Amino acid sequence: MSSSDDLYAVADFCLIPMGTGEPSVRYCHDSQRHHFYTYLRNHPAFYQVAGYIAECQRILEKSGLKYKVRRYGTNLEGSWFEVSKAIHDCHLAVHAQGAPRIATDIRIGTRTDREIAPGTGNEAKVKRVEEILSK
């Protein structure tokens, strides 16, 4: 498939660094919140997983693709090739930062029944749901 025939892809992916020695999620009860944040300030290595994700976001910024970081993943859109390459490049960057393993959940949607204006795939879906809710 040539680049002119490449499918436009709307993706959602969640990159999870593994084997880093640091938890990716830490539960914190409200009464422990002060102690938890004190722990974070005194243990910078705890930020390690967030640092891996930040590195991935730098890669996405350089890609020029439209993306939106969310709490449990990232929306990304562009040609199938560009989206796949961006996720690949995120893996390379996070491994280069020292993560020995990475698990990534990816959901990709494409369509051929109508044209999607570049950069509007995710916004159109959200807008449609908001229209329905406003009725």
The tens digit of pLDDT for each residue in 38-55 reads: 554 554 444 577 888 889
Per-residue pLDDT at 30 exceeds 80: no
> 18: part of which helix (H) or strand (E)?
strand 8-18
H helical segments located in 10-47: 33-42
The pTM of this model reads: 0.72
| Cβ atoms 65, 76 nearer than 8 A | yes
Return all residues near 20 (Cβ < 8 A) that are at least 6 apart: 48, 49, 52, 98, 99, 100
- The pLDDT value given to residue 115: 80
Note the pLDDT of residue 1.
Answer: 42
Q: Stretch 104-112: mean pLDDT, rounded?
A: 92
Pick 3-133's CATH classification: 3.30.70.930, 3.30.1490.190, 2.40.50.140, 3.40.630.30. 3.30.70.930
pLDDT exceeds cutoff 50 at 8: yes
**All structural domains of the chain with their residue ranges:** 3-133
Which pLDDT belongs to residue 22?
A: 64
Query: Coil, strand, or helix at residue 124?
Result: helix
